Amino acid sequence: MSWFVYILKCSDGSLYTGITNNIENRIKAHRDGKGAKYTKGRGPFTIIYKERCMNRSIASKRESEIKSLNHKEKLKLKCNFSSLA
């Protein structure tokens, strides 16, 4: 089963990083206000980055790496993601 690490851009310009094994359902949960506490009331959201990982452990480690980046560095990931899409 694949896992994903993803970054959402919230309507207030902030970024949220998370992991999931079902990206569509997780984004829907965020939109429905049933996702992370942080994202409640911050929609609508835009997926600016997603990365497939082999398992949950790898996804968690990558999430931690991404969360340690500053806002500008996370937005650079978006540019790389956009050019690959």
Question: What is the fold, at CATH topology level, of the domain defined by 3-84?
Answer: GIY-YIG endonuclease (3.40.1440)
**pLDDT, tens only, 9-23:** 999 999 999 999 999
Could you give the dihedral angle defined by the CA atoms of residues 85, 70, 27 and 52, in that order, rounded to the nearest 10 degrees?
50
Structure tokens of 27? 């984004």
Q: Are 62 and 53 in contact (CB under 8 A)?
A: yes
Give which of 25, 69, 23 is closest to 47, Cα–Cα.
23
Strands 15-20 and 46-53: unpaired
Helices vs strands, H then E, count in the chain: 3, 3
**What dihedral do alpha carbons 73, 76, 14, 60 form, nearest 10°?**
-70
Does residue 85 register a pLDDT over 50?
Answer: no
The reported pTM is: 0.89
pLDDT in tens, 25-81: 999 999 999 989 999 999 999 999 999 999 999 999 999 999 999 999 999 998 766
* pLDDT at residue 82 in the model: 57
Spans of all domains in the chain: 3-84
